[in-house]
Amino acid sequence: MSAPGANGDTRRRRLRDATGTLILIGGGTSAGGDAFASFIELTRAREGSPITGLTTASSQVALAREAWLADLKSAGAKNVTIPLVESRDDAYDPTIVELIRNARGIFLGGGDQVKLVSTLGGTPLEKAIRDAYMDGAIICGTSAGAAALTKTTLAGNEVDDEGKLVEQYIGPGLGLLGYHTLIDTHFTQRRRLYRLFVAIAEFPALMGLGIDEDTALIVKREVGTVVGKGGVTFVDGSSVRFNNAADVTKAPELTISALRVGIVGTGQQFNLKKREIVALLSPPPSERDVKNRLSRARQA
């Protein structure tokens, strides 16, 4: 990868100037699926381009490392390194930082997005990820790895394995995906639509993106393309007419009107900046264009 630009600190460079690509996978990632294949293809991993992964979000970092090494190699990646990053001290290791800075592709595994952000946030390793993205790297996150890539991260507000309700967390993320978005994953499979409704009701300026399992939203600048087995649900609160989220004390009391919800299917594109499906943003043909098309059709 090339060195940071003349402006020095890449935090001063605008995200809209980034030349990299984000691949946001909703978890449940299969090594042979189209979502994962998009990362392998865009990075040219089969041709030996360097891929560096991080399993920091996992509760068992070393075990997750072995599993993702196997999956990446099974998918065709030939040059893969996954260093063990279990603490903030590891995120200051210059050898690991250099691996990330020089990677063509950076992969962030699943687990706990809050753990991932708290371990990497404000460290040289986080800056190296951002530098790489600004300068053209492909950043792929699955499950927690995807949820952590936004400026604002969502977690909690659902029942855990022990039947206890985990308090909702909305806080800072790694900040590579802007456009005032939240990412939720395992979306249809874990029935998380209501969770996203609650988050957007509380923060209506944000837009929620719910990504299904084994499905990727591939984002280049402001446009995302859906690839894989499922779809991406968007929840836009910018036009809400009634919202009592600030007053409710229990979830069943939530009332919200004119929340805009849609689904983007496989092969379709979504403009994150305009919060609309790209197909609807194309200008309609002019009357002259229509007449010309009819004329050509008659002559054919």
pLDDT per residue as tens digits for the range 49-73: 999 999 999 999 999 999 999 999 9
State how far the alpha carbon of 153 is from the alpha carbons of 49, 116, 129, 199, in Å.
30, 11, 17, 10
Asked, for residue 46, whether it belongs to a domain, the answer is yes
Please report the pLDDT score of residue 165 as a whole number: 72
Burial annotation 49-61 (CB, 10 A radius, 16+ → b, else e): bbbbbbbbbbeeb
Cβ atoms of residues 254 and 248 within 8 Å: yes
Please identify which residue in the block is written with the tokens 């194309």.
Answer: 282
Asked, for residue 65, whether it belongs to a domain, the answer is yes
Distance CA 263, CA 211 (A): 10
Distance CA 28, CA 86 (A): 23
Asked, for residue 276, whether it belongs to a domain, the answer is yes
Distance CA 198, CA 251 (A): 8
261: which strand partners? 235
Distance CA 128, CA 125 (A): 5
Please report the pLDDT score of residue 116 as a whole number: 98
Cβ atoms of residues 131 and 97 within 8 Å: no
Please report the pLDDT score of residue 291 as a whole number: 63
Domain CATH for 208? 3.40.50.880
Asked, for residue 1, whether it belongs to a domain, the answer is no
Distance CA 1, CA 104 (A): 7
Phi, psi at 294, each rounded to 5°: -65, -40
What torsion, rounded to 10 degrees, do the Cα atoms 181, 186, 192, 193 define?
60
Range of the domain at 168: 10-299
Can you spell out the DSSP letters for 12-24? Answer: GS-GGG---EEEE
Q: Could you give the number of structural domains in the chain?
A: 1
pLDDT tens per residue, range 219-277 = 999 999 999 999 999 999 999 999 998 888 777 788 999 999 999 999 999 999 999 99
Phi, psi at 176, each rounded to 5°: -85, -30
Instruction: Return the amino acid letter for 39.
Output: F
Asked, for residue 5, whether it belongs to a domain, the answer is no
Asked, for residue 82, whether it belongs to a domain, the answer is yes
Please report the pLDDT score of residue 250 as a whole number: 75
Distance CA 13, CA 131 (A): 10
Q: What is the DSSP letter of 150?
A: B
Asked, for residue 3, whether it belongs to a domain, the answer is no
Distance linking the first and last C-alpha atoms of the chain: 51
Tell me the residue ranges of DSSP E strands in 61-151. Answer: 80-81, 105-108, 138-142
Please report the pLDDT score of residue 144 as a whole number: 97
Please identify which residue in the block is written with the tokens 């189209």.
Answer: 34
Asked, for residue 171, whether it belongs to a domain, the answer is yes
Question: pLDDT below 50 — which residues of the chain?
Answer: 1-8, 10
What torsion, rounded to 10 degrees, do the Cα atoms 220, 232, 27, 202 define?
100
State how far the alpha carbon of 178 is from the alpha carbons of 70, 151, 183, 259, 264, in Å.
32, 6, 11, 21, 19
Distance CA 259, CA 32 (A): 36
What's this model's pTM, rounded to 2 decimal places?
Answer: 0.89
